[in-house]
Amino acid sequence: MSLENTEQVAQPEAAPMMETPSEVASGGSGNEFLNMIPEELRDHPSISPIKDVENLARSYVNAQRLIGTDKIPMPSNPTEEDLDRIYERLGRPSTPEDYGISPDGSVVTEEVAKEYSDIAHKLRLTPDQAQGILEYYRGTVEQSGAATLEMAEIAREETVSSLKQEWGRAFEQKVDAAARVAQEFGNAEMFDITLQDGSKLGDNPEFIKAFAKIAEFRQSVTSEDTVADMSQSNVMTPADAKAEIDAIMNDKGHPYWDRKNLVGRQQAVERVQELWGMVHG
């Protein structure tokens, strides 16, 4: 077999050689701006990404903007110490006390001020951030307090209305009697207990009626009447007044039905009229 007939094995083409900036400046790729700079700078890594004179000018302008600015190094995997240094450069105070959080006499107590300063420092907040969050907290608490007071006032008005409707003219007498018993057997803190609906225990109608019943029971058992009790002993609830009217109407032997007993009947009629007045308030 002759060498002429030997099949020639195709050889792979050699990979094109990458041109350096200096080779480009020599005319390799036509990047003419490299010819304008000193040869010792053409191979510098900061020059290689630049494609033309316009790009070179933009890079220069951007670099000038950074000159003189205070730069903060950002580690790729910052430690707690790194983060402390970074946030201190951003404005975090050196100590919690440097936030200057002071008690305001209502929402922010001395204990709250100290605890909040410690938390703000731990979270690396700036003074403006810490103050902004505190103002939001204070406003929220004040709004919540105002809403609670409004709800308590509404509950108090509803209690008075319902008890007046039930007790009629005996309202003042029964409320006073209930209050005396509650103060005697309870304590001031008990009346301020907040119930699930936001009202105070002392404004709850069932609570007041319970102590009013205790006062009635004690009076019936011990016959202990004060001067005020005796002066109002003829005042009855609408239900009690109606019960007495029914008893008079159903008792045919009552002076109310004896037309011959003018004085006794007149007194009975006046009593029934008085009782009807208590029924209707």
Q: Which residue from 208, 212, 193 is spatially nearest to 158, judged by alpha carbons? A: 208
The CB density around residue 85, as the number of other CB atoms within 10 Å, is: 16
SS3 at position 135 = helix
Tell the burial category of 233 from Cβ atoms under 10 Å away from its Cβ (0-12, 13-18, 19+). Answer: exposed
Rounded Cα distance between 168 and 239, Å, is 9
Q: Which residues of 199-223 are buried (b: 16+ CB within 10 A; e: fewer)?
A: bbbbbbbebbbebbebbeeeeeeee
Q: What is the CA radius of gyration of the chain?
A: 48
pLDDT of residue 261: 67
Rounded Cα distance between 78 and 93, Å, is 20
Task: Identify the band that residue 6 occupies on the pLDDT scale cut at 50, 70 and 90.
Answer: very low
Token pair 């951003």 in the structure block, residue: 90
SS3 at position 122 = helix
pLDDT of residue 281: 65
Give the type of residue at 77.
N
Q: What is the pLDDT of residues 75-121, one digit of tens each?
A: 788 899 989 988 998 899 999 999 999 998 888 999 999 999 999 99
Q: What is the pLDDT of residues 172-196, one digit of tens each?
A: 888 888 888 887 777 767 777 877 7
| 20-29, 98-107, 140-149, 244-253: segment of lowest average pLDDT | 20-29
Q: Which residue from 187, 191, 244, 181 is spatially nearest to 216, judged by alpha carbons? A: 181
Task: Identify the band that residue 66 occupies on the pLDDT scale cut at 50, 70 and 90.
Answer: low
Dihedral (CA of 255, 259, 261, 265) sign: positive
Higher pLDDT, 134 or 233: 134
Q: pLDDT at residue 143 above 50?
A: yes
What is the average pLDDT score of the chain? 77
Cβ-contact 169, 278 below 8 angstroms:
yes
Task: Identify the band that residue 223 occupies on the pLDDT scale cut at 50, 70 and 90.
Answer: low
Higher pLDDT, 222 or 101: 101
Rounded Cα distance between 220 and 216, Å, is 6
Scanning 123-261, the segments in alpha helix (DSSP H) are 127-167, 171-185, 188-191, 205-222, 227-231, 238-250
The CB density around residue 159, as the number of other CB atoms within 10 Å, is: 21
Q: What is the pLDDT of residues 250-277, one digit of tens each?
A: 888 887 787 776 766 777 777 788 888 8
Task: Identify the band that residue 20 occupies on the pLDDT scale cut at 50, 70 and 90.
Answer: very low
Cα end-to-end span (Å), the chain: 138
Q: Which residue from 185, 243, 172, 244 is spatially nearest to 214, judged by alpha carbons? A: 185
- In the chain, pLDDT over 70 holds for what percent of residues? 77
